[in-house]
Structure 1
Amino acid sequence: MSKKVFKTCRQRFIKFVTTAVHRSLYYHESLSFETVPITDSIKSMGQFLEKPKVEKHNSRGKNDDIRYGLGSMQGWRVDMEDAHATILTLDDNNWSRWSYFGVFDGHAGYRTAVKAAEKLHLQILSSLNTLVADNANEAVPSQVISSQLDFSKFETAIKDAYFKFDHEWREENRNNNQDDKSGSTAISCLIDAERVYFLNVGDSRAILVSSEGRVLLATKDHKPSDQVERQRIQDAGGTVLIQRVNGSLAVSRALGDFEYKNNSNRRPDQQLVSPEPEVTCHSRNLAMDSDKQEEQIAFIVLACDGIWDVMTNEELAAYILGRMHVTDDLNEICNSVLDMCLYKGSKDNMSLIIIAFKTAPVPTPEWKEKDETLNTEIKNKTIEIFNRNPNRTSLDANTIWQQVVTFLNEQSSIREALPIGGESFNDFIDDDFDIKSFSANILQTKLVADYLQHLNELIRTLDAEIKQQVSSNAPVLFRQASSIGTIEDVLENMQSRIGSLKLTVDRISSKVTEPYNKILVRKFQLTRLQNTCDLLRRIKGVLQQTKKLQTFMSPSNTGQQQIELVKASQCLSELDHFTVDTDFTGIDIVEKDLQFVFKARHDIQTQAQDVLENGLNHLNPAQIGTALQVFFNLGTLHDRIQSIEQRLLQNFQTQISEYLDLKQLSRSKDPSNPGRTTMPNIGNTSQFRALLWTNIDKILDLLYVTIAQLYNLSRVLAKKKDPITHATFTDELTKQGHSSDLVGQFWIGAMKSLRKQMKISMSDSYHLRQALEGEYPRLLRLQNDLIARLNQLQPGFSEIEMDLIDKDSLDSEQSQEKQKANLQLNECFEIFEKSYLSILSSRLSDPINLVFSSSSTTKLLPTQQELESFVKLIVNELTVSIVSEALVNKVARNIGKAIQLFAAKCEQSICTDSEGSQVVSAPTAAQLRNISAINILFNFCSMINKMLAEQQNLPLTATTRIADALQCVHSLMNTAIHPFLNSIADCIEAILATMHTEDFSQPAGTQSDSQSSLYMKELQEFIIRIQKDYFTEFQCKDFMYENLAPIACRAIVLFMEHISLVRPLGEGGILRLVVDFAQIEFALSPFCRRLTDLGKYYKILKAFRSLLILTTEEFQNNSAIGDVVPYDIVLHHLFSRAPIEMRSPHQAMNWSINRYIQWLDEHPNMSDRLAMIKGTLETYVQTVRNRQQKEFAPIYVIILNILDKGLASTA
């Protein structure tokens, strides 16, 4: 029996046993989930249900080509986060032959999965339409098929659709102010008549299965443990901990999960979690493979990881294929898969879609009969197991498994369905079978007697099988035995022929040997002759080139020296061709010449090095070119350029180390004791700092000179060319692995060394660090001067992007990221910027804290002199930092913080309780202190604004930051004055409300007609007292007028509302109100510079005064009504002129006047006010009708007409 047969036995047996155990657990109703061991582990995890939800959601559908079934179940999870999409016809137009299916496994919520199920296919459809339209020569075909689409373009279109969906979903969450952290995997497929496209994001999976049960294709799970995925996560700045992204997310690709997609500098497919789909295509036709002409595609399975966690691809494919032989109900198959996975221990939501093609297996009566028989036997055995165990709660899945397996092995009907031997022979046919270890395992785990009996049974089975094979193949065996004699005759004939052939070969060999030896001797002679000729040719060349070299090396005038140097190097280059790989030992004729050549080479290299050094020092391109040509001819150009770079960089490192050495900076010569040095003198700070800044200037000068030398060297290398290949020297260096950017290479090394030395020097010397931190703007100015000089040398040098140096490790390799040259220089000195800004913050805050530190109540607020000193300090700091826009913006931010601190200190002196807001008596001490604080804050704001106006070179960002900080000062001023102003407004309102206690019903002609009312006199006296006692103390007139103007406007509005409600109103009362109008203008004059500054409120006041002296009939066509004076004010006044039975709105509502005024404040909309008046008129009309009066009051018509105009204007 072959090994392949035994493996087939094993696979079929596993399939039968798995199906049997599943059905045994499924059939018996007494087996609850509490008896399954997996339940205890599930309960202990805390995030699962006490019992799984086994209700299933199913759907099915079909068309002329395919049919599908869907099943999903919540299982042990608290929430159902899976979603799905099943679309048999993707589009009625271009894509009518395409179908779309998808399973979406959500995590951290269901919203992303549901959104993908609803919208993702629409985004895919849009991208495909764009793809077809962009590639169609004429009209778009009515039906698109796979052969019309280029796969690379199709793949790009699919990826664009996923990226757009992810982006739009993120924007939708932002627009709705939703911080949705959910994500979802997505496994989907597109099917047309020719191909199947699989689109995969995450760890859900799809398999394509043939009619023979072979898994033709399986998608790849996107896990952080995958090397490619791990590299992308690390490149995006993340880590992979416990096989999760940042130790949290178990998938490396997903839709949603926007908290992992916040790097705006990287593409969507480069984020920590990528939405990029993996697109796979598979043809639906397998007939092209000659070995598989009878095998066809049967079905597709799309499933979430809740299925794949407990079943392999092959197990699921075999199970579904087997069930298709029994039933054509795909929903039933889906449900049985869900139940099996639940019993096998799946703890997640479970969803799967089965898509069957026409080539899928169909049920047959034979399979159904076998299945029913197996079901009956397993069901009976399960019932028997439970009946044998009274305590059924002690049963678990393992117990049932062992007993059902034993039962299946005993059933002859099942054993007959399997090949002979089956599972029992697997241990003995494995390649790595070891009899010793197998025997030891048997002795430890099983009874030897029982197992020996089992082995004897197996041996008898094999004997029976061998006998059966021999008996069934007896004729064939007999025919093979009869042919043995014929084979012997053939072998004897072949042996004799082989002997004859051997003798023939020996004779030929003896005839060939002698000529071969002669040819070999002639070959040796020819080889030696050729070697002699070559050596003579080389000797001749050496002699000729040496003679030329002696001519070029002879003394000549100075102007000709460089030209002879180049020619001499060319001779040496020619000599190299003659001497390479040749040994001239023992040849006297060339011995002296070779010694001369050796000495000449050394002299030429020395002279060329001197010429190169002189050319670099004087920036002479001609000398540099001559030296480089010599080195090129000698073949040492690459080594020489590399040594120059190393020497310049090492020299720079040595110089900066000496210039920043504390001992060198502190050492001074004593004139009376030459050669004697002294130790650092802390008190000699000025001399120390002067020498320090001189050395820093030297460092930057050295950096400039070195860059200039390398720049000229690079230009010459780019111009000089090989006379044979015409390639530039730069190209030749690049071929040998040398960088073509000499300046960039040196700059990176210099910046690395400078930064390292700065850190060392700062850690060694407190005084050095203190000097550079305190005068950081000066250091920044020197740096800017260097950048300006380098830009003059090489235009745009500061904007050149060079390799970024790793900040964490100065010795690390260069990364692929780039950074501008000026920013790299900034980073060398940025360690001083933070300290400088910290010192600046202290310099700005110390004066403020000092001013407010006194415990004396008279020293709570700063004086004018202290304010000026503080503003002068701010001006000085801005002036010093103007050398850099970035620095001045940061300084401005610190100034803003100091201004906020100043405001916070002043706030402690401000009183906002009743003591600070009273207006009934003279100003209290708290109010005087508030007034002083407001004056000081106002002066401070004025001085800062004046300073900003004078600073012409200040950047807009810095100005804006300081101006924004002043807003807190303005807010504090408003906080200090508003309680006081609110009290004034309340008093004015209370005084105006007293007008209704006076009698305005007198007829005209009385003495009081020309006198102002009592309430007006009280109002005037109040405002005059407030002005005298309070307003004169304020120095900030503009600020006061700005805050008093709203009070004046409010007073005018209240004045007109109360006057319009005065009732009863006689002719004399009207004349007295006209006088009140004039008096209120005088009363409100302290609240603004001119009453005309109040705008429309002053116009309303003037216009309403002129309306008072009109007759009632003249109101109807007056143009000021509505345009200037509000409709409600005019209508209220007309009610005052109406008969007593026509009640005013507040009378109709039984409200007091104060309550009605409050209602007007709460309803500023004119339509609401006119609606109230309209209701009042309707009440009056109803009253007239109830009284059965025949006509309305004459003023009713006028009021009604004006009301209609008002309602029409607000419609």
Structure 2
Amino acid sequence: MDAKEVCVEIENDEFYSKYLVDSVKPLIAENLSVSDQVSKLALGIDKLSKSLERQVLAKHNDLLTQASHIADLEASLASAQGQVQSLLRGANNLKERVDKPYYALESQTQMLERVQTTCNLLRHTAKILSLWNKLCDVKENPAKEATILFELNELISDYDFEGITLLDDIIKQVTQRRQELLSNSTSLLQTSLLNGDKTKLLQCFKVFHNLQCTNEQIQNSVDSILNDLRKAIKNALNVQQVSIEVKKSSSGRSAPGKANIMNSQEFKIKLWDNIEKLFRSDISTACTKVIMLQNVVNELHAIGNFRKIANNFWNDLMQAFSSELEKSPSAVSQSIEIDYPRLLKCFNDLLLKMKCKDFEMKRTCLTKWENSFLSKSLGKLLEPVRSMWHLSQVPSTDQIDNAVRVIAEALSISLGDKQLSISLANSVAKCIKQMNVETEQRISMDSDVAQIIEPPTSTQQKNADLCNRLYYFSSQIKRVLVNMNSLLPAESVQIVQNSLKNISSLPVLQLFSESIKNSIFIILMTMHDEPDLSRSDDPTGKQLSCSPYMKELQQFVSRCRDIYLGMFHEAAAVNECCSNIARSCIERFVQHVCNVRPLTKFGRVKLQIDCKHLEAALSPIVSDMSEIGEQYRQLRALHLLLEKSPQDIAKSQSEGASLPHSLVMMFLFAFAGQQLLAPHACAGWSVGKLMQWLGGHRGERDRLEFVAGALQRYQNHVRQNNITSYDEVYPVLVQLLEDGRKNLNK
């Protein structure tokens, strides 16, 4: 059995394996006696010994070789040990040669250091004595005294002069003189700030600069001012103190049952008296001091850069005021929220009085109270608007006047502050929007609200009343804006004006407008049933009147203006509605006249008379027909067109006319024979369908192509039937078509 197998056998044996583990526990087996265990251990040791013997016998040559090498190694080690001992002896000799000069040099260096220290002490002592003598000669010049004291303090702080009796008294007096000078200058600084003595302030800062304590003194001065202000603010907002003062002032004057009300009102008055006094006196005085401090420091460029004294002070002041407000009782906080513009006025008046670029309003410090004020203001603005609709379907003018009064008050209380004015203007805009929404929700849009046959219904009258109340509301607000225009910021005025743009009676008036226009279109349609338009006799010398449909139109327009449109008070909206009706009426009249078939000379004269009477028929709704614009020019052009021949008409069109080529061509078909059919006749349309098509196709290109189709059909008819000549109107129509197309391409 080789060595490996012996090792494996011992490792796998349960008894032997216990001796291969490091353990402090006893290794006596429970199932074997001690003698058996000893025997087994002896057997194992014997096996290991025999295994070792076999390995030694097998490797004896290698072991002998290794033994000889060990002897060589021991010889080498002995030689190296001798060399190391020799090296150590050399090192000790070298150390002795270095140590002696080093200790000698160290001793000399210490002596030199002491000599230098002594020389420096002597020089400093001489300098101190010299400066002390100078100090005695400059007692009347604080700035120079400060310079010398600063130099003395620097010299004294450089070394420890303890034990030099010559300087003991001087050092004590230097410290004392510096403290006295600093104390006197600080006192003079406070007095100068209070009295506004700029010359003495400059003197103080020169002393501080020479003593190298400018920053410290500025900070101490500003901190002192801020601390005094904090106390003043706290006292002004002290609800207990205010209540005591109110009780003292109201004692013996309170009526039974009114004590709480009077005390509450007097508390508010006393609180605001304290706040306004705080700004007029304490804060104003403090700001004046800091501004003077800043100005003096700015003039003394040599003392350093202290450009933010006033700015930092103002930021701290705003923060301190906000902090004290935050800690104040609810009674004070509520008073501030209610009369927040009054607080802003205190700040703005102070800033206006100070006129300091470093003082700017920090609204973030007052955000809580501003938001609360704006929230309550919005509720106050919306309350009269909401309440007026709860009482009735149509609010009274008194209720509207009350809402406008609240709006005017809201705009007026913000006159001193632009940002607050803009915020309140936005709240007013919300109020106006609410009024508009409430009105729109109550306006009926049922099918019968636009009837113009019977007298106005209750629904129509209610719609008109709602529109009139909304118009009254809008006009009253515009009047307020006019009165306050020079006082309010332009942005605030613009916000309110923009909110009024959506208020108009036009939506309801447009319902009447559509009904009126439809009825007018029906009346104009009867033009084609007038027998006079096709009479063949000569009208010369005859007294002719307008056509019956024109008389009906005149009566209808006058009735609508008086009965239906007359219910509305918004003149601008009514005029716009009337102008829209007049334009549509003239446009449809021109279209009908250009498509009357047949049309004789007598009929053209009759239509000329109708053109004149149309102006009279529309006069109840349009006082100045020239305001109608393009449609009125077309009416005048049609009046001239009715008395011209086709050739003259073509010539006038080439020279420039108000009527479009398509309508002129439709009119010229009336001069043609029966073979040249009108465009709508070619299409198999009635006049009603033609009017509908013209209403949906307002582009001149579509209309020209519609007329061109009739001409093309006539041309095909002539060719197919071998007719030798065209109708005399046909060349005129072709020329007008070509001219019309050219005009479109320009």
Matched, 1:656 2:233: yes
- CA 1:742–1:1012: 2 relative to 1, 3 Å: closer
Residue in structure 2 matched with residue 772 of structure 1 by the alignment: 336
Matched, 1:574 2:152: yes
Structure 1 residue 993 and structure 2 residue 525: aligned? yes
Rounded Cα–Cα distance in structure 2 between residues aligned with 1:944 and 1:986: 36
Give secondary structure in 1 for the equivalent of 2:501.
helix
Question: What residue is the counterpart of 1:1074 in the other structure?
Answer: 608
**Distance in 2 between the 1:646 and 1:565 partners?**
25
2:53 corresponds in structure 1 to none
Deviation at 1:943, TM superposition (A): 3.5
2:272 matched residue in structure 1: 693
Residue in structure 2 matched with residue 899 of structure 1 by the alignment: 432
Write the distance in 2 (CA, Å) between the matches of 1:1192 and 1:1145.
Answer: 17
Which residue in 2 is equivalent to 1:584? 162
How far apart in 1 are the matches of 2:606 and 2:525? 16
The equivalences for 1:880-919 within 5 A come to 880-919=413-452
What secondary structure does 2:737 align onto? helix
- Aligned partner of 1:254 in structure 2 is none
Matches for 1:737-1136 after TM superposition, within 5 Å: 741-761=308-328, 764-766=329-331, 768-792=332-356, 796-798=357-359, 822-823=360-361, 825-855=362-392, 860-863=394-397, 865-950=398-483, 951-970=485-504, 973-999=505-531, 1000-1005=533-538, 1010-1119=544-653, 1123-1136=657-670
Asked whether the equivalents of residues 381 and 406 of structure 2 are also in contact (C-alpha less than 8 Å), the reply is yes
Pick from 243, 246, 256 the counterpart of residue 666 of structure 1: 243
For residue 413 of structure 2, give the secondary structure of its aligned residue in structure 1: helix
Secondary structure at the aligned position of 1:567 is classed as helix
**Cα distance, 1:483–1:663 mapped onto 2, change above 3 Å:** same
Q: Which protein shows a greater Rg? A: 2
Which among 181, 190, 204 is matched to residue 613 of structure 1?
Answer: 190
Structure with a larger share of its residues in helix: 2
Query: Within 1, Cα distance between the matches of 2:99 and 2:711?
Result: 144
Structure-2 change in CA distance of 1:494 and 1:831 (3 Å): same
Residues 581 and 687 from structure 1, CA distance in 2 versus in 1: closer, same or farther, beyond 3 angstroms?
Answer: farther
Cα distance in 2 for residues equivalent to 1:570 and 1:598:
12
* In structure 1, C-alpha distance between the alignment counterparts of 2:370 and 2:423, rounded to whole Å: 10
Residue 1151 of structure 1 aligns to a residue in which SS? Answer: coil
Shift of 1:663: 1.6
Change (3 A) 1:511 1:909: closer
Amino acid at match of 2:334: Q
Shift in alpha-carbon separation, 1:576–1:1148, aligned structure 2, 3 A: closer
Aligned ranges for residues 498-517 of structure 1 at < 5 Å? 499=85
Over the aligned positions, Cα root-mean-square deviation in angstroms equals: 4.1
How many angstroms does 1:1183 deviate by? 2.3
TM-score, structure 1 as length reference: 0.50
Cα distance in 1 for partners of 2:536, 2:407 equals 70
Structure 2 counterpart of 1:684: 263
Contact 2:340 2:370 in 1 (8 A): yes
Is residue 1009–residue 1069 contact of structure 1 (8 Å, CA) maintained in 2? no
Q: For residues 703 and 861 of structure 1, what CA distance do their matches in structure 2 show?
A: 49
Can you list the C-alpha shifts for 1:288-328, whole angstroms capped at 9, x where unaligned?
A: xxxxxxxxxxxxxxxxxxxxxxxxxxxxxxxxxxxxxxxxx
DSSP-derived class of the 1:852 partner: helix
Distance verdict in 2 for CA 1:886–1:1120, change over 3 Å: farther
User: 1:776-809: CA deviations, max 9, x gaps?
Assistant: 22222222233334434xxx325xxxxxxxxxxx
Give distance in 2, aligned partners of 1:1187 and 1:1016. Answer: 43
Cα distance per residue 1:226-274 (max 9 Å; x no partner): xxxxxxxxxxxxxxxxxxxxxxxxxxxxxxxxxxxxxxxxxxxxxxxxx
Q: CA deviation at 1:884?
A: 2.0
Q: C-alpha deviations, 1:661-688, integer Å up to 9, x for none?
A: 2122222174899xxxxxx966334543
Q: For 2:534, what is the secondary structure of its paired residue?
A: coil
CA–CA distance in 2 between the matches of 1:1133 and 1:513?
A: 136
Q: Hey, what's the Cα distance between the residues in 2 that align with 1:868 and 1:1160?
A: 49
Superposed CA offset, 1:559-615 (max 9, x none): x96525852772474266247542535x66655555555544443343233223223
Structure showing the higher strand proportion among its residues: 1
- SS class of match (1:969): coil
What secondary structure, in the 3-state scheme, does the structure 2 residue paired with 1:1194 have? Answer: coil
Equivalent residue of 2:337, what SS?
Answer: helix
Q: Is the 8 A contact 2:242 2:267 kept in 1?
A: yes
Structure 1: 5+ residue runs without aligned partners?
A: 1-434, 437-479, 553-559, 674-679, 722-727, 732-738, 799-821
CA distance in 2, matches of 1:525, 1:1100: 124
Q: Which residue of 2 aligns with 1:427?
A: none
Tell whether the 8 Å contact from 2:161 to 2:167 is kept in structure 1 after alignment. no
CA distance in 2: counterparts of 1:1041 and 1:508, whole angstroms: 124
TM alignment of 1:484-503, pairs within 5 A: 496=82, 499=85
Report how far residue 986 of structure 1 moved.
0.7
Partner SS for 1:1142: coil
In the aligned structure 2, how far is the partner of 1:908 from the partner of 1:509? Answer: 112
Inter-CA distance 493–641: structure 2 relative to 1 (3 Å threshold): farther
Q: Contact 1:1003 / 1:1068 at 8 angstroms: preserved in 2?
A: yes
CA distance in 1, matches of 2:369, 2:619: 58
- Counterparts in 2 of 1:1178 and 1:695: CA distance versus 1, 3 Å: same
Q: Equivalents in 1 of 2:277, 2:67: separation in Å?
A: 104
CA contact (8 A) 2:139 2:145 kept: no
**1-structure distance, mates of 2:153, 2:374:** 67
Structure 2 CA distance for aligned equivalents of residues 1132 and 729 of structure 1: 96
SS in structure 2 opposite 1:1003?
coil
Tell me if structure 1 keeps the 8 A contact 2:149–2:174. no
- Measure, in 1, the Cα distance between the counterparts of 2:291 and 2:610: 89
**SS at structure 1 position matched to 2:620:** helix
Distance 1:529 1:1037 in 2: 110
The one-letter amino acid paired with 1:616 is L
Do the aligned partners of 1:1056 and 1:1101 also contact (CA within 8 Å) in 2? Answer: yes
2:31 aligned partner = none
Kindly provide the amino acid, as one letter, of the partner of residue 563 in structure 1: N
CA 1:498–1:1023: 2 relative to 1, 3 Å: closer
Opposite residue 1082 of structure 1, the aligned amino acid is A
- Cα deviation for residue 917 of structure 1 reads 0.9
> Among the aligned pairs, what percent are the same residue?
26
Shift of residue 988, structure 1, vs aligned partner: 0.5
* CA distance 1:562–1:854, change in 2 (3 Å): farther
- Once the two structures are TM-superposed, the CA of residue 916 in structure 1 deviates from its matched residue by 1.9
Give the secondary structure class of the aligned counterpart of 1:851.
Answer: helix
Pairwise CA distance, 1:1158: 0.8
Aligned residue type for 1:956: A
Cα deviation for residue 1075 of structure 1 reads 2.7
**TM superposition shift of 1:1108:** 1.9
- Residues in 2 aligned to 1:784 and 1:840: alpha-carbon distance in whole angstroms: 21
CA gap of 1:1074–1:548, structure 2 versus 1, over 3 A, is closer
**Contact 1:656 1:699 survives alignment (8 Å):** yes
| Separation (CA, whole Å) in 1 of partners of 2:384 and 2:179 | 72
